[in-house]
Structure 1
């Protein structure tokens, strides 16, 4: 849906072989990878992390400045940041929030929501500052922060899966490469496979949301179907101004 980070604290482990009883086949990814701010610490809860198996994997939409100091300072935790073109982020966000609205309230106006997005009025802060913060950290400390782009992953999924494995300290062995493990993982985790599973078509999260609201199209460039020339020029101008001199191109 939008930019997000995944936190990987703990020891080095190797990805287990893809199996017919893999948890992704019977659970929504959000139940397997809980959000810090939505599930683990909501309503002043203090989670017991000792009950979580290693390697511990968490998700968050929080900007880096809002992460706990224990994550930001002197921690073995690694951060994987996934970024996406802001035009596609906006369209995905607009669809997602409308799916969560009660049917009787109608649909959010795309122009009004677009104006809020461009002014940085979103749940986790302005997109541009959010992305730039993690981008700069990935350059300053590439061993701790990996910055990935959705578009690159769609274009070369195997390349970026290998890059992710190496970043986490568990590169694929020659035997795993020869056995086709990379391709198996990509097939298992593909949008087409996950969106077609019964658990994601008809199930609900433990928090109550329908799983199918998290799956729409999963493509690059869907914004062309929703944004007119004026809106595109506005968001592109903001992106160019905000990212100028940073080296970040989306």
Structure 2
């Protein structure tokens, strides 16, 4: 009863928010409710947990966004290498437009250059006009495939989905959560508490395994439309996968470009070491819905950091869950 009372209080607080339209408020009142890791609350919409502020943007996006066949969508679950994927893709698509000395990535955070699609629709009173954007229009999303706009599913636009070992993703998400809570002058949340929540499927845009599975299945059924890659694989063979992404998107590197080191230049520009040390990524904010500081998006960018945080029992529990949920579909980490 105590939990229910607390959740009702959180719900009332968010429903008073002027940024949420009446249609969204009416829907929210019918949806399952849980405490959010970072913000007040999240609701289960189309099978996934979405924070209230994001839900307004998602509903408007589903209703109004019209996909072009030339559009490109970068999809990830939170903390799966999103910032890196945005930087790499923006750089490869614009390699003929910008040179290393005046590149936008040197002065703008990747999240400013590649906006979250659902965030463009956050204003309940304004439908953005995206027709002025030159093709290919490049967007990103944390939204599960089940919830992307219908026009996107029906089009021949390209989708690149980057996945990550759930143990590393969880640890990164926990650190990210506490960074934001500290920014909001709220207390940190214990690892054990959010681990239980994660294992139950209650996490930002979770359950994690359903998020991954939606894009994985689509990549098997429509490989010409959805490319499914893993963070760990790109870390091992960055040159191979950058060229693979470029080929998939229809912007392959020429032999001349490769011989001149264009691929290496992009990888160097978009490396964790380069991006994390830029002044623009140490100050300011780039994601309007949250006001999250740019520096919060950069921590370690490594593979296997979970070993420094999870107990053997936690690791085994997550391994078991992922095997049960994804194994029968031929997907493993």
**TM-score, with structure 1 as normaliser:** 0.92
Q: Distance in 1 between matches of 2:159 and 2:169?
A: 20
Q: Distance in 2 between matches of 1:184 and 1:152?
A: 20
Q: Distance in 2 between matches of 1:217 and 1:246?
A: 31
SS in 1 for 2:244: helix
- Offset, 1:249: 1.6
Residue 222 of structure 1 pairs with residue 305 of structure 2:
yes
- Offset, 1:209: 2.4
Q: Distance in 2 between matches of 1:166 and 1:187?
A: 20
Name the counterpart of 2:56. none
Q: Distance in 2 between matches of 1:96 and 1:213?
A: 7
Q: Is the 8 A contact 2:322 2:332 kept in 1?
A: no
- Offset, 1:248: 1.0
Q: Distance in 2 between matches of 1:217 and 1:3?
A: 12
Name the counterpart of 2:315. 232
Selected match of 1:101 from 178, 181, 188: 181
Name the counterpart of 1:2. 79
- Offset, 1:227: 0.2
SS in 1 for 2:123: helix
Deviation beyond 3 Å, 4+ runs, structure 1: 3-7
Larger radius of gyration: 2
- Tell me the matched-pair count: 243
SS in 1 for 2:266: helix
Query: What do you get for the CA RMSD once the two structures are aligned?
Result: 1.8
- Offset, 1:205: 2.0
Q: Any unmatched runs of 5+ in structure 1?
A: 8-12
Q: Distance in 2 between matches of 1:31 and 1:62?
A: 18
Q: Distance in 2 between matches of 1:14 and 1:102?
A: 36
Q: Distance in 2 between matches of 1:117 and 1:76?
A: 33
Which structure has more relative contact order (CA 8 Å, sep 6+)? It is: 1
Name the counterpart of 2:234. 153
SS in 2 for 1:166: helix
Name the counterpart of 1:213. 296
Name the counterpart of 2:329. 246
Q: Distance in 1 between matches of 2:208 and 2:178?
A: 19
Q: Distance in 2 between matches of 1:214 and 1:4?
A: 10
Q: Distance in 2 between matches of 1:14 and 1:174?
A: 18
SS in 1 for 2:159: strand
**TM-score, with structure 2 as normaliser:** 0.70
Give per-residue Cα distances to partners, 1:81-122, cap 9 Å, x unaligned: 000000011001001111111464221011010010111101
TM-aligned CA distance change 1:249 to 1:206, over 3 Å: closer
SS in 1 for 2:285: coil
Q: Is the 8 A contact 2:164 2:232 kept in 1?
A: yes
